[in-house]
């Protein structure tokens, strides 16, 4: 007896037959919105990446692209609004209020749902960051609309619906999800999944101010403090120009040190595939793939990583992918640009030495430190 | 105190294979497990019970076979397990799931005492959406703390809780009001080895089984496929890249050969790398 079941459970097959019959009251919903995420005065670059994706959707739909800036009053919010135009927005909705100084679900959910109910967008995109996911889940539930998480591709189809594609079943397959008969159609996208659009100085367009209508006494949750991460290299993995990562093919936790050493030589960040996190060899903030970080470096070196789709979707945006694996049939050779069929444990030290010699002759005699912990600090973002 | 822990039975995704020809999921022999992220939620609830006393109710929505995961949760020391199972729940997306779970949690509150905290994992390994926790909180009109790293001061008299939650670039410390929904971050604790007594009890303990009607669902159109605003239109395998990797020929000095190939491929890269390496 064969036990191969069609990928979506049988009930999901029924969904595919669903028809678009948009209720009358949703027909007024127009335009594409991108939530511009600020934390402590800094715009998260994922917001600009989304602006690029949102621009393409808006152009295809022949509608406007609006940026939604929610935060405390002041220069940071104003700058975020102005920058939004440079990244392609036609207009900005701005909710600026002191009670929005720190992210709190209650206040931000109210701000965003009020905006949606007042100005009615057809599409609303947010970054799949901790903030974006916390907020998107609350807003979608409040509005009783559909939300598709961690999309890898956004498009509009012939009838103007948002086609949101995301990996499913742990990244073994992709599925395209529609919110046919509810508005707005909401989606989140993880940092680095979409390319960073060009920032072109443009005259600012309209900024529509919306008041929050909420006072501090109304907000239950109080922020007691904020402890910034000491190791800023963790947050810069997604935005690193060069990444070296290791997988199970390294054979042992000790051999992972070879990955760190090559990364050190290259001034790169190091990462790993999911099995190493599951084995406890490497902490989860170093995981690259669908459930870890998505990267788009200029150079990505994957050592002893077989290249399961869960990993592939996290690295496909790299300009150049180098795969080192003993198994010439490993799936990673299907999407890497350059491959070496050999044992990474033997190649990595030689590669570190060769890179060192080639890139910086004056560093040739430098001994690679064995307790190297992190790469140089780099500013996150564009 | 009474804490409710929402869990989900999921296929062990590490063992899922896709049929190379038909692009379908091969479920044969794939074991099911409690979503690993949910175990951090369960352990956090157990630790609070050790400290403050009270009870833990685990709840799941799923097919009748999800009973296995509930029994497993009982072996770790949860007091009570509720299985929400009904054909009308099938095909639920996250919004429909939160409707069913929130309804069941209200009923749990009525029958077994109002919960102080409701726990979920950060996300599931099969859906990966992280939307159900916030959705339940919104439906129940309770506070939410997502990505919690550590639970701090808990005052059952003043009805307040302090917690540290992961956010971009740091950890945010918040105080909020009970009842509250918490999604626990991974690796914040380790699930205990259940006591022998709990294992014995779990094997025989009755599992509370509720249909939609039992759970108090008033509007069946909000459940399952019907209650789901999202529609999965297409499932497909990622397309293969047209050209496979250029393989570096085996040689005496493979490292040198690789570097030459890299820079031949992208001549501009050498200057970029030199600049980066120079900064080390």
What would the pLDDT profile of A258-280 be if each residue is shown by its tens digit? 999 999 999 999 999 999 998 88
Instruction: Report d(CA A242, CA B120) in Å as an integer.
Output: 36
Q: What is the pLDDT of residue A273?
A: 94
- A185: domain CATH number? 3.40.50.620
**One domain, residues A138 and A279:** no
Is A19 inside any structural domain? no
**One domain, residues A96 and A71:** yes
Is A353 inside any structural domain? yes
**One domain, residues A261 and A352:** yes
Is A44 inside any structural domain? yes
Give how far A310 is from chain B: nearest CA, Å: 10
Residues 189-218 of A with CB under 8 A from B: none
Q: Mean per-residue pLDDT for A305-332?
A: 92
Is A91 inside any structural domain? yes
**One domain, residues A359 and A214:** no
Is A368 inside any structural domain? no
Is A16 inside any structural domain? no
- A291: domain CATH number? 3.40.50.1220
**One domain, residues A267 and A341:** yes
Residues 6+ apart with CB under 8 A from B232: A8, A12, A15, A16, A175, A176, A177
Residues 328-367 of A with CB under 8 A from B: 328, 332-342, 347, 350-351, 353-356, 358-360, 363
Q: What is the pLDDT of residue A170?
A: 63
**One domain, residues A172 and A59:** yes
Q: What is the pLDDT of residue A365?
A: 47
Residues 311-330 of A with CB under 8 A from B: 312-313, 319-323, 328
- Domain boundary residue among A161, A184, A218? A218
Residues 6+ apart with CB under 8 A from A306: A247, A248, A249, A273, A325, A327, A330, A331, A332
Residues 6+ apart with CB under 8 A from B158: none
Is A129 inside any structural domain? yes
Q: Mean per-residue pLDDT for A348-364?
A: 82
Q: Return the minimum-mean-pLDDT range out of A3-17, A368-382, B43-57, B174-188.
A: A368-382
Q: How many domains does chain A have?
A: 2
Interface mutation vs chain A, best among B20, B39, B128, most A CBs within 10 Å: B128
Q: CB–CB of B146 and A309 under 8 A?
A: no
**Residue A109: which region, alpha, beta or left (left: phi > 0; alpha: psi -120 to 50)?**
alpha
Residues 6+ apart with CB under 8 A from A176: A163, A164, A165, B232, B233, B234, B236
Give how far A166 is from chain B: nearest CA, Å: 10
Domain span including residue A357: 232-363
Q: What is the pLDDT of residue B241?
A: 66
Give, in degrees to the nearest 5, the angle at Cα A170 between A319 and A299: 15
**One domain, residues A214 and A276:** no
- The pLDDT tens digits for B179-194 are 999 999 988 899 999 9
Diameter over CA atoms, chain B: 74
Is A244 inside any structural domain? yes
- The overall average pLDDT reported for chain A is 88
In chain B, the domains with their CATH numbers are 2-222 (3.40.50.620), 240-280 (no CATH)
Instruction: Report d(CA B117, CA B51) in Å as an integer.
Output: 14
- The pLDDT tens digits for B29-50 are 788 999 999 999 999 999 999 9
**One domain, residues A102 and A161:** yes
Measure Cα distances from A349 to A260, A311, B94, B278 in Å: 11, 24, 47, 19
Q: Give the confidence band of B223 by pLDDT, cuts at 50, 70, 90.
A: very high
């Amino acid at each position: 007896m064969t036990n191969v079941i069609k990928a979506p459970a049988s009930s999901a097959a029924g969904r595919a037959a669903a028809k678009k019959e948009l209720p009358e009251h949703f027909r007024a919903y127009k335009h594409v919105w991108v939530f511009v995420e600020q934390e402590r005065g800094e715009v998260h670059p994922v917001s600009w990446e989304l602006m690029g994706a949102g621009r393409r959707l808006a152009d295809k739909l022949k509608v406007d692209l609006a940026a939604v800036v929610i935060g405390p009053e002041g220069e940071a919010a104003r700058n975020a609004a102005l920058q939004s135009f440079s990244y392609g927005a036609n207009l900005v909705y701005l909710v600026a209020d002191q009670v929005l100084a720190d992210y709190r679900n209650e206040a931000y959910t109210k701000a965003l749902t009020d905006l949606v109910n007042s100005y009615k967008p057809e599409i609303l995109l947010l970054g799949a960051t901790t903030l974006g996911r916390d907020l998107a889940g609350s807003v979608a539930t409040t509005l009783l609309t559909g939300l598709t998480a961690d999309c890898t591709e956004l498009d509009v189809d012939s009838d103007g619906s948002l086609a949101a594609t995301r990996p499913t079943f742990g990244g073994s397959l992709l599925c395209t999800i529609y919110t046919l008969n509810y508005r707005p159609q909401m989606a989140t996208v993880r940092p680095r999944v979409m390319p960073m659009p060009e920032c072109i100085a443009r005259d600012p367009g309209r900024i529509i101010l919306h008041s929050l209508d909420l006072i501090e006494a109304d907000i239950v949750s109080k922020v007691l403090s904020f402890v910034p991460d000491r190791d800023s290299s963790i947050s810069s993995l997604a935005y690193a120009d060069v990444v070296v990562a290791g997988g199970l093919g390294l054979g042992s936790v000790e051999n992972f040190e070879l990955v760190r050493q090559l990364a050190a030589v290259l001034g790169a960040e190091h990462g790993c595939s999911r099995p190493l996190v599951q084995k406890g060899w490497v902490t989860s903030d170093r995981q690259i793939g669908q459930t870890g970080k998505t990267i788009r470096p200029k150079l990505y070196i994957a050592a002893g990583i077989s290249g399961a789709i869960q990993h592939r979707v996290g690295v496909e945006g790299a300009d150049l992918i180098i795969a080192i694996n003993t198994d010439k049939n490993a799936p990673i050779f299907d999407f890497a640009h350059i491959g070496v069929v050999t044992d990474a444990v033997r190649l990595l030290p030689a590669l570190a030495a060769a890179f060192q010699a080639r890139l910086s002759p004056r560093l040739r005699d430098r001994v690679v430190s064995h307790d190297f912990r992190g790469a140089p600090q780099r500013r996150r973002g564009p | 105190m009474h804490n409710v822990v929402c869990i989900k039975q999921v296929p062990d995704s590490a063992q899922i294979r896709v049929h190379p020809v038909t692009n379908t999921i091969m479920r044969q022999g794939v074991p099911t497990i409690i979503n690993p992220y949910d175990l951090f939620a369960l352990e956090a609830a157990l630790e609070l019970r050790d400290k403050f006393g009270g009870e833990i109710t685990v709840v799941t929505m799923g097919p009748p076979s999800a009973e296995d995961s509930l029994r497993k949760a009982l072996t770790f020391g949860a007091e009570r397990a509720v299985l929400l199972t009904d054909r009308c729940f099938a095909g639920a997306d996250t919004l429909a799931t939160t409707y069913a779970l929130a309804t069941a949690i209200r009923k749990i509150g009525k029958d077994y005492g109002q919960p102080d905290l409701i726990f979920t994992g950060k996300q599931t390994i099969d859906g990966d959406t992280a939307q159900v926790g916030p959705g339940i909180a919104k439906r129940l009109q309770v506070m939410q703390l997502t990505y919690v790293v550590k639970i701090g001061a808990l005052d059952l008299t003043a009805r307040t809780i302090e917690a540290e939650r992961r956010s971009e670039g740091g950890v945010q410390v918040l105080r909020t009001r009970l009842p509250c929904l918490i999604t626990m971050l991974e690796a914040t604790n380790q699930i205990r080895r259940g006591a022998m007594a709990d294992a014995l009890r779990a094997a025989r303990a009755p599992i509370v089984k509720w249909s939609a009607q039992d759970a108090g669902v008033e509007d069946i159109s909000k459940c399952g496929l019907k209650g789901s605003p999202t529609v999965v239109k297409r499932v497909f395998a990622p397309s293969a890249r047209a050209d496979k990797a250029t393989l570096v020929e085996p040689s005496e000095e493979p490292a040198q050969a690789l570097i030459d190939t890299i820079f031949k491929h992208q001549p501009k890269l050498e200057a970029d790398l030199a600049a980066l390496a120079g900064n080390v």
